[in-house]
């Protein structure tokens, strides 16, 4: 997986930094409305992590600050729709030709505004949490993973996340959303700089619409070429109508093995809507697929209209000659992505940002 160069990390202004600093100083998280017990980030077992790796840059890992910063990252992701997504929804609402589509889009915008104003989750399904952590050499991953888990537990206690995790076989609920595989954390070592953490909250309804094709696919008359890729993507959009809470955003990976295809497709959902693939061929495909999907008439919530998708982001991954997978990560309108850069020495926010193309 490619790193995100610093010049591709676009600062945003959502107030995350100041809130994180407040909490780091011991102040409660703002907008605490649900009566959850005040968090004491990093208090539970913070001392156990400090000094574990003598000589490296985590020898005095400030766990409490890290947890406070990450709680705020979760809060922002859960309660604030990214500016570009909200702007696209507003534009689509104003331009909608069908009254029903306009009503749905307007209601989505109102819901997003209320969620941001009241610091409440924008959807009852607060989704699967996937963290991508990019860190320079010399940073131990285990304390960061512990900070992520403690932050998820604290954010759940405060109502920023629903108790949304259940065990795989017996279905028992996990009270703090921390369990084997939850949250999902991907680490990558990058060049020097702060630790950059990207978070995606992806709901189950749209995740159920994510899918993978293996070309050639006779049922779609899809061969091993871009025309075949196009057939797969449009079929996935068609199949998702009425489910997955359109308008959606697609992350697509062409190639890879099955596992890499899903990871890379999902990661594309971190990219802002205005971001284009650096590969002109893929950039053209992103544009064409968006236009074609929106001409299918599926519309918001599948009830008709021209706004079926808000964006399509395509990446490639090398593959074996024997395989040609096309993997599609389908996100609903609630594309809850948020990124932050953290000073590893303090655990405090350096900057907020978004992931541009890879």
The Cα 341–Cα 353 span in angstroms is 8
Q: Going residue by residue from 290 to 329, which x/- string records binding to ligand SF4, judged by CB under 6 A?
A: ----------------------------------------
Q: Going residue by residue from 180 to 219, which x/- string records binding to ligand SF4, judged by CB under 6 A?
A: -----------------------xxxx-------------
**For the purposes of burial, counting CB atoms within 10 Å of the CB of 57, is it exposed (0-12), middle (13-18) or buried (19 or more)?**
middle
Q: Going residue by residue from 112 to 151, which x/- string records binding to ligand SF4, judged by CB under 6 A?
A: -----------x-x-x------------------------
Q: DSSP class of residue 6? A: G
Q: Return the number of the residue (3 or 111) whose C-beta is nearest ligand SF4.
A: 111
Cβ-based neighbours of 208, under 8 Å, separated by 6 or more:
243, 244
The Cα 47–Cα 35 span in angstroms is 28
The Cα 308–Cα 328 span in angstroms is 15
Q: Which DSSP string do the residues of 64-80 spell out, in sequence order?
A: HHHHHHHHHHHHHHHH-
Length of the chain as a residue count: 358
Q: How far is the CB of 249 from ligand SF4 (least distance, A)?
A: 11
Instruction: Determine the distance from the C-alpha atom of residue 187 to the mean position of all C-alpha atoms in its chain, rounded to a whole number.
Output: 15
Q: How far is the CB of 114 from ligand SF4 (least distance, A)?
A: 14
Asked if residue 284 binds ligand SF4 (CB under 6 A), the reply is: no
Q: How far is the CB of 312 from ligand SF4 (least distance, A)?
A: 18
The Cα 107–Cα 120 span in angstroms is 16
Q: Return the number of the residue (269 or 341) whose C-beta is nearest ligand SF4.
A: 269
Asked if residue 334 binds ligand SF4 (CB under 6 A), the reply is: yes
Q: Going residue by residue from 243 to 272, which x/- string records binding to ligand SF4, judged by CB under 6 A?
A: -xx---------------------------
The contact set with ligand SF4 (CB under 6 A) reads 123, 125, 127, 203-206, 244-245, 332, 334
């Amino acid at each position: 997986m490619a790193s995100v160069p610093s010049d591709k990390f676009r600062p945003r202004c959502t107030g995350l930094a100041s809130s994180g600093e407040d909490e780091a100083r011991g102040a409660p998280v703002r907008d605490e409305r649900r009566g959850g017990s005040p968090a004491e980030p990093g208090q539970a077992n913070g001392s156990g992590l400090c000094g574990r790796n003598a000589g490296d840059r985590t020898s005095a890992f400030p766990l409490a600050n890290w947890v406070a910063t990450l709680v705020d990252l979760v809060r922002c992701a859960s309660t604030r729709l990214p500016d570009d997504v909200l702007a696209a929804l507003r534009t689509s609402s104003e331009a909608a030709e069908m009254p029903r589509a306009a009503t749905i889009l307007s209601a989505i915008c109102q819901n997003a505004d209320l969620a941001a104003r009241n610091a409440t989750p924008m959807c009852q399904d607060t989704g699967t949490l996937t963290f991508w952590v990019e860190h320079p050499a010399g940073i131990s991953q285990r304390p960061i993973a512990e900070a992520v888990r403690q932050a998820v537990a604290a954010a759940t206690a405060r109502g920023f996340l629903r108790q949304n995790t259940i065990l795989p076989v017996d279905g028992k609920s996990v009270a703090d959303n921390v369990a084997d595989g939850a949250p999902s954390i991907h680490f990558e070592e990058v060049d020097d700089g702060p630790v950059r953490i990207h978070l995606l909250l992806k709901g189950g309804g749209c995740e159920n619409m994510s899918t993978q094709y293996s070309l050639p696919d006779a049922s779609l008359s899809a061969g091993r070429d871009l025309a075949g890729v196009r057939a797969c993507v449009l079929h996935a959009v068609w199949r998702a109508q009425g489910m997955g809470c359109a308008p959606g955003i697609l992350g697509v990976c062409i190639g890879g093995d099955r596992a890499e295809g899903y990871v890379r497709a999902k990661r594309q959902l971190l990219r802002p809507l205005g971001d284009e693939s650096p590969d002109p061929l893929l950039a053209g495909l992103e544009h064409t697929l968006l236009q074609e999907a929106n001409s299918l008439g599926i519309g918001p919530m599948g009830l008709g209209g021209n706004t079926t998708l808000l964006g399509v982001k395509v990446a490639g991954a090398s593959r074996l000659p024997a395989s040609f997978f096309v993997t599609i990560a389908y996100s609903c309108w609630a594309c809850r992505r948020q990124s932050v850069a953290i000073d590893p020495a303090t655990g405090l926010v350096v900057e907020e940002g978004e992931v541009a193309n890879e």
